[in-house]
């Protein structure tokens, strides 16, 4: 089952990323790749947040799948998608990434580590019931918000 989830994620990644490969420059391709990654993260986090808000019924299997999909995405080395010079300042119509990401004093990498830790914690408990999953999912959502507050244009 794990292999089929990985294959499905790869196919979904290609579906999101292929339009980006038609970009004209390496910078535009990098922007499209990281946006594809963010779409996949949002796609998998959405149902978990929906379960917490009780907009959709809690489903242990689906919660576990979504959380493990997020964990699988962590295995991808996406550093090339964060190419310097691909900020909102340089590409205002293509990205909301702030130039502060690439500043010498940036704590952007720390945000990434917090996100990864939150994903791993969530994946460990997502199928254990809503009351167990909710705090971990909220922690993950907070890690997303923290990075977006500091490094994403309004």
List pLDDT tens digits, range 88-135: 999 999 999 999 999 999 999 999 999 999 999 999 999 999 999 999
| Selection from 41, 31, 136 nearest residue 83 by Cα | 31
User: Is the predicted pLDDT of residue 15 greater than 80, yes or no?
Assistant: no
Section 55-73 average pLDDT = 98
Number of domains in the chain: 1
Domain of 49 in residue numbering reads as 2-151
| Selection from 75, 92, 88 nearest residue 2 by Cα | 75
| Selection from 26, 14, 9, 137 nearest residue 90 by Cα | 26
**pLDDT at res. 74:** 97
CA 72 to chain centre: 11
What is the model's pTM? 0.83
Residue 122 sits in a domain whose CATH number is 1.20.120.10
User: Is the predicted pLDDT of residue 47 greater than 80, yes or no?
Assistant: yes
Other C-beta atoms closer than 10 Å to the C-beta of 54 total 9
**pLDDT at res. 2:** 67
């Amino acid at each position: 089952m794990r292999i089929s989830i990985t294959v499905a994620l790869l196919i979904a990644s290609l579906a999101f990323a292929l339009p980006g490969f038609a970009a004209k420059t390496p910078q535009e391709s990098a922007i499209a790749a990281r946006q594809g990654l963010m779409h996949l993260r949002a796609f998998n986090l959405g149902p978990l947040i929906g379960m917490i808000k009780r907009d959709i019924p809690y489903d242990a299997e689906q919660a576990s799948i979504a959380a493990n999909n997020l964990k699988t995405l962590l295995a991808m080395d996406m550093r090339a998608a964060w190419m310097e010079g691909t900020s909102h300042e340089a590409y205002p119509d293509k990205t909301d990434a702030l130039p502060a990401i690439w500043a010498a004093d940036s704590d952007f990498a720390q945000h990434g580590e917090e996100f990864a830790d939150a994903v791993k914690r969530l994946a460990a408990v997502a199928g254990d019931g809503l009351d167990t999953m909710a705090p971990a999912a909220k922690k993950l959502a907070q890690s997303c918000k923290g990075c977006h507050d500091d490094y994403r244009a309004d």
